[in-house]
Amino acid sequence: MKLTKLIGLLLSISLLVVSSTVVWGQQKTQITVQTYWSLEPPGGVAWSDIIKKYESSHPDVEIKHYYVPFGDLVKKLITQALTGDFPDVVFADNPDVQYLARAGAFKDITKLVQEWGVWKDYIPGSQLAVTYRGKIYALHQSTNNLALWYNKDYFKQIGIASPPETWDELINVCQKLKASLPKVYPIGFSARNTEEGTWQFEPFLWSSNGSLLALDKPEAVRALDLWTTLVKEGYAPRDVLNWGQGDLTQYFKNKQLAMMVQGDWELSQSGLEDFKKNGMVFGNNFDVAKIPVPKKGMKPVVPMGGECFTLPAKGNPQKEKIAWDFVKFLNDSKNMADFCANTGRVPTRISAIEPLLKDRPDLKVFTEQAKSAVPRPAAGAGEKYTDVSTITREAIQKALSGTLSPEQAFKEASEKIRKLFSTDEEYNKALVEARSALSKVRK
């Protein structure tokens, strides 16, 4: 008796819950979005603002955000692709787009993008990043890249007027900094055993005309040689082997590093406040400069960062229209510029760059570099990029820790990378693709 009563009670409660959501559902359409961006202030203000802005202009839509930690997003999308149970709007870091498109997690949105008609407004790297086998699979909502950050006070102290532009100048500045400031490390970068390590090395590799698919070539080896020299001479601590990019900012803020390789996302409004709290004002105490190149006249080529929004392969057809509308809203030129101004990012649409720079002239170095930024898979064997990256950073770590010389480390790596391809033809095709991606953005 008691049991039936209990079951009856539970049933009525669940019915009540179900019916109330149905009533709610009639009033508002709920669109689910999944990202690794937090909505919490101060960092998440821009993201939660843009969601609120959409909701207030579309009172019949409710945006429900699901937060997934950075390291879990691709795993989550793979699981969702297996079960077919996707959120209405999906999101991924740009180097993962081609892989996820190939895996069948994303929808081919070529037609929708063509109908919208703003495709030509995207910078070349952003177009490359979301295209797989001639089809568009996502829209690149914002980008970021790496530059050389330097402590102006330290530079003044040792009498250097401008930041180093070439590798020789970089070594020279490091030498001077080390001689006069023994407690400060001249430079820091991240050579950690994660994608961060490869991503931080690529600006030097690509600016030197090197390719991830031909690491045994002198252009590539000299880039690793530069990093190894920086560590060997004590200009950078060996700790770079374990440092993530977040660590770099901490040491730079604490004035333990005179220079660092770092991205523009640290120049968000809240990030700038943090710097101020440490007595560092952008432009006065520290500044950013383009990544140094091997020789004068060469052009810095950096990897392209930033995230993409799109529709899942199997979405809810009734909600797809609203979901696409939300993706377009996020990619709207004005919204993009506002979002970037707050988060210290670079717009992917050319028409949004000028409005952003009016607001944030300090992002100029990054917007310039973005125009020639390369998406990593395009210059690193497409869907094999994760393997290529793993092998590359293993070699970087071997050289920096002194296990192997730069030549040996990259020779070993290039042999391993070659083995990822079953035929010469396949390898040569990837090599040509990587070369053409790099030359495309260099123009």
Partner 1 sequence: MDRFGPKRYGFILPAIIFTVLFAIYPLIYNVVFSFQDVTAISLIQKTSQFIGFKNYIDTLNDPIFRRTVLNTLIFTVLSILFQFIIGFLIALLFNKEFPLRDFMISLIMLPWFIPILVSGTVFKLFFMDMGLINRFLLSLKLIPKIVPWITDANMAIYSLTIANIWLGIPFNFILLYTGLKGVPVELYESAEIDGAIGLKKTLYITVPILKPIIITTLLLGAIFTIKVFDLVWIITGGGPGNSSHLFSTYSYQLAFGNYNFGLGAAVSVIMILIIIVVVSILNLIKVED
25/84 with CB nearer partner 1: 84
| 254 counts as binding partner 1 under rule CB under 8 A | no
Kindly report the backbone phi and psi dihedral angles of residue 439, in degrees, each rounded to the nearest multiple of 5, phi listed first. Answer: -75, -30
Residue 85 is a binding residue for partner 1 (CB under 8 A): no
CB of 327 to partner 1, least distance (A): 22
Tell which positions 218-237 bind partner 1, by CB under 8 A: 237
CA dihedral 294, 300, 301, 306 (to 10 degrees): 130
CB of 412 to partner 1, least distance (A): 10
Does 289 participate in binding partner 1 (rule CB under 8 A)? no
Beta 185-188 vs 257-263: how paired, if at all? parallel
Stretch that binds partner 1, among 12-20, 99-107, 143-151, 160-168 (CB under 8 A): 99-107
Name the residue nearer to partner 1 (CB basis): 83 or 423: 83
Binding pattern for the stretch 183-212 against partner 1, x by CB under 8 A and - elsewhere? --x------xxx------------------
Q: Which residue has the tokens 């009856």?
A: 8
Under a CB-based contact definition with an 8 Å cutoff, are residues 146 and 128 in contact?
A: no
Write the burial class of residue 312 (CB in 10 Å: 0-12 exposed, 13-18 middle, 19+ buried). buried
Specify the length of the chain in residues.
Answer: 443
In the region spanning residues 32 to 71, those forming contacts with partner 1, defined by CB under 8 A, are none
Our CA angle for 48, 49, 55, nearest 5°, is 90
Interface with partner 1, residue 105, by CB under 8 A: yes
Please select the residue that binds partner 1; options are 28, 102, 222, 299, rule is CB under 8 A: 102
**Cβ-based nearer residue to partner 1, 41 or 104:** 104
Residues 347-406 close enough to bind partner 1 by CB under 8 A: 383, 386-387, 390, 394-395, 397-398, 400-404
Footprint of partner 1 on residues 296-355 (CB under 8 A)?
none
Binding footprint of partner 1, residue count (CB under 8 A): 34
Side-chain half-sphere CA neighbours of 422 within 13 A: 0
Q: How far is the CB of 80 from partner 1 (least distance, A)?
A: 10
Q: Which of 242, 254, 278, 428 lies at the binding interface for partner 1 (CB under 8 A)?
A: 242
Give the whole-angstrom CA distance, residue 271 versus residue 267.
5
Nearer to partner 1, 166 or 250 (CB): 250
CA-closest candidate to residue 46, choices 266, 335, 359, 351:
335
Question: Shortest Cβ distance from residue 32 to partner 1 (Å)?
Answer: 20
Stretch that binds partner 1, among 103-111, 159-167, 345-353, 357-365 (CB under 8 A): 103-111
Residue whose CB is less far from partner 1, 222 or 384: 384
Cβ distance to partner 1 smaller for residue 122 or 243: 243
Task: Using the CB atoms, write b or e for 357-396: b if 16+ within 10 Å.
Answer: beebebbebbbbbbebbbbbbbbbbbebbbebbbbbbbbb
On the question of a cis peptide bond just before residue 42, with omega within 30 degrees of 0, the verdict is yes
Our CB check for partner 1 shows the closer of 118 and 241 to be: 241
**Minimum separation from the CB atom of position 71 to partner 1 (A):** 8
Question: Among residues 43 and 237, whose Cβ is nearest to partner 1?
Answer: 237
Compute the distance between CA of residue 302 and CA of residue 300 in angstroms, rounded to an integer. 6
**90 part of the interface to partner 1, by CB under 8 A:** no
Residue of 324, 323, 359, 321 lying closest to 339 (CA atoms): 359
Beta bridge partners of 374: 303
Residue with tokens 């009734």: 318
CB contact set of 201 (below 8 Å; sequence gap of 6+):
191, 223, 224, 227, 392, 393, 396
Q: By CB under 8 A, name the binding residues for partner 1.
A: 74-75, 78, 81-82, 99, 102-105, 185, 192-194, 237-239, 241-242, 256, 383, 386-387, 390, 394-395, 397-398, 400-404, 409
